Chains A and B, each alone.
Chain A
Amino acid sequence: MATQTERRTDIGPPHYSQFLHPIIKENYGKWKYHETLKPGVLMHVGETGTIYSVRAASARLITISFVRFMAGLADKYADGYLRFTSRNNIEFLLANKDNIEPLIKELADNGIPVGGTNNAISNVVHTQGWVHCHSSATDASGLVKVIMDDLFEYFGSMKLPNKLRIAVACCLNMCGAVHCSDIAVLGVHRTLPRIDHSTLGNLCEIPTTVASCPNNAIKPTTIEGKTTVKVDEDKCMYCGNCYTVCPAMPLADPLNDGISIWVGGKISNARTEPMFTKLAIPYIPNNPPRWPEVTSAIRNIVEIYVKNAKPYERVGEWINRIGWAKFFDLTGIEFTKYHIDDFRHAGTTYKRSVQNRY
């Protein structure tokens, strides 16, 4: 055991400058421009030097062996310098242009592709899923693996109209904030929390549990002399808020949990303002280990987008240009009552003109 005196606390992160490549240090804030030499390879030109970045794919769930292997490659080709992107890619920072191809080859020999730049599908950001979280309605690592296996050709090429960002979250908590991606895959529950009346009173604070529900579906009650809660089934939208504060209200339901697919969000301000994703497919059953219905639904959307969008149109921009009716028409996705919003501000999404494409 460490004693009080040895203990260091509140030191914060180490300063980044000690991890910067000397060329990066010299050109910090002095970059002039960059070029994409080929998919996954960037060249940044600064006032006094040039740095090459090789972007390699990685799963998000990785091991110390994988990281050590990557560190070894950085030593061999990049003077020991590398960084990670916000989408879990690894970027090797090379001073020597001649190292690019040998590095790519060694990565490829070990099953690691290079790509994800410009008009490509970059790595999928995702959450913990069945690997690690209590509220997941689906797995995340497995879904990402099968989606990227299927769309692999778009990672290593740049043939899309614009970049395409995919995200996976395994419940409505959306730790990965999938609500602004071009295509979002979201795990959903579809049935009421199963209340454990025998333990709820001991495990959970009733007022906190009641207050946790965004739709006022939870009311205190007494069952067989025990204080507990009840859920109004007309008001519950299976969001899992109550379960987050009260472990006696689990939502997992193997028969009914599954996946919904959302489209048309973006974060960047380029051309159009940031947008939320909107519902495309309300429900697809969980079908592990390879979720074929999900991968084919996504491929369908991607292919229709590639075929119909103009150069540099993001998915959401393309849909806004052609209209949602046309989107459902082109993709063959069924429009249902679930597509019509009924939560707060729902009215703002009702069509308030008769302009339409027939």
Chain B
Amino acid sequence: MAGEISVEQLADEMYGVVAENAGMKKMKAGDLTKAMIAKFGDQVSKQDCKSAIKLLIDSGRCVYGYYGGSSIELPRTEGAAN
């Protein structure tokens, strides 16, 4: 049932997926949601996943990136010119 896994726990899991794929595949919000649903089945809902992503971003553990499409990434030092 949805709600069995806490949003904090989901955020941790998502962080793991982002970290694992860093530098190889840019994860979109939808990819993370799909990965969580694949892993936990109906123990999680899409709304839980949304909340987990919000937590991940609001806490500063991940940031949004953009190259042609938006993705959720590990924070990097700013890609400034120098």
Shortest C-beta distance, A83 to chain B (Å), equals: 31
Q: Is the CB of A205 within 8 A of B68?
A: no
Across the two chains, which residue of chain A brings its CB closest to B58?
A4
B24 at interface by CB-CB < 8 Å? yes
Across the two chains, which residue of chain B brings its CB closest to A7?
B58
Q: Which of B38-82 contact A (CB under 8 A)?
A: 67-69
> How many residue pairs bridge A and B at CB < 8 Å?
18
A157 at interface by CB-CB < 8 Å? no
Across the two chains, which residue of chain A brings its CB closest to B24?
A205
Q: Is the CB of A246 within 8 A of B25?
A: no
Q: Please report whether the interface of chain A is mostly helix, strand, loop or mixed according to DSSP.
A: helix
Residues of A within 8 A of B25 (CB): 205, 207-208
- Expressed in whole angstroms, the Cα–Cα distance for A212 and B69 within the complex equals 11
- Expressed in whole angstroms, the Cα–Cα distance for A244 and B69 within the complex equals 9
- Expressed in whole angstroms, the Cα–Cα distance for A163 and B63 within the complex equals 46
Across the two chains, which residue of chain B brings its CB closest to A4?
B58
Residues of B within 8 A of A241 (CB): 68
Residues of B within 8 A of A244 (CB): 67-68
Residues of A within 8 A of B69 (CB): 245
- Expressed in whole angstroms, the Cα–Cα distance for A72 and B61 within the complex equals 46
Shortest C-beta distance, A1 to chain B (Å), equals: 13
Q: Is the CB of B24 within 8 A of A245?
A: no
Residues of A within 8 A of B68 (CB): 208, 212, 241, 244-245
- Expressed in whole angstroms, the Cα–Cα distance for A244 and B68 within the complex equals 5
Residues of B within 8 A of A208 (CB): 25-26, 67-68
Chain A residues at the B interface, C-beta cutoff of 8 Å? 204-205, 207-208, 212, 241, 244-247
Contact with A along B6-30 (1 / 0, CB 8 A): 0000000000000000001110000
Q: Which 3 A-B pairs have the closest CB atoms?
A: A245-B68, A244-B68, A245-B67
- Expressed in whole angstroms, the Cα–Cα distance for A245 and B26 within the complex equals 11
- Expressed in whole angstroms, the Cα–Cα distance for A14 and B82 within the complex equals 39
From B24, B26, B68, name the one whose CB has the most chain A CB atoms within 10 angstroms.
B68
What are 13 A-B contacts with C-beta separation under 8 Å? Answer: A205-B24, A205-B26, A207-B25, A208-B26, A208-B67, A208-B68, A212-B68, A241-B68, A244-B67, A245-B67, A245-B68, A245-B69, A246-B67
Across the two chains, which residue of chain A brings its CB closest to B21?
A205
Residues of B within 8 A of A205 (CB): 24-26
- Expressed in whole angstroms, the Cα–Cα distance for A204 and B68 within the complex equals 11
Residues of B within 8 A of A247 (CB): 67
Shortest C-beta distance, B5 to chain A (Å), equals: 25
Shortest C-beta distance, B46 to chain A (Å), equals: 19
Residues of B within 8 A of A204 (CB): 67
- Expressed in whole angstroms, the Cα–Cα distance for A204 and B25 within the complex equals 9
- Expressed in whole angstroms, the Cα–Cα distance for A78 and B67 within the complex equals 44
Residues of A within 8 A of B67 (CB): 204, 208, 244-247
Across the two chains, which residue of chain B brings its CB closest to A201?
B23
Shortest C-beta distance, B12 to chain A (Å), equals: 21
Known: A205-B26, A241-B68, A246-B67. 8 other contacts (CB 8 A): A205-B24, A208-B26, A208-B68, A212-B68, A244-B67, A245-B68, A245-B69, A247-B67
- Expressed in whole angstroms, the Cα–Cα distance for A241 and B69 within the complex equals 11
Shortest C-beta distance, B72 to chain A (Å), equals: 14
Residues of B within 8 A of A245 (CB): 67-69
Residues of A within 8 A of B26 (CB): 205, 208
- Expressed in whole angstroms, the Cα–Cα distance for A208 and B67 within the complex equals 10
- Expressed in whole angstroms, the Cα–Cα distance for A288 and B26 within the complex equals 39
- Expressed in whole angstroms, the Cα–Cα distance for A212 and B26 within the complex equals 14
From A207, A208, A212, name the one whose CB has the most chain B CB atoms within 10 angstroms.
A208
Shortest C-beta distance, B61 to chain A (Å), equals: 15
- Expressed in whole angstroms, the Cα–Cα distance for A247 and B66 within the complex equals 12
Shortest C-beta distance, A325 to chain B (Å), equals: 40
Across the two chains, which residue of chain B brings its CB closest to A242?
B68
- Expressed in whole angstroms, the Cα–Cα distance for A247 and B24 within the complex equals 16
- Expressed in whole angstroms, the Cα–Cα distance for A312 and B68 within the complex equals 41
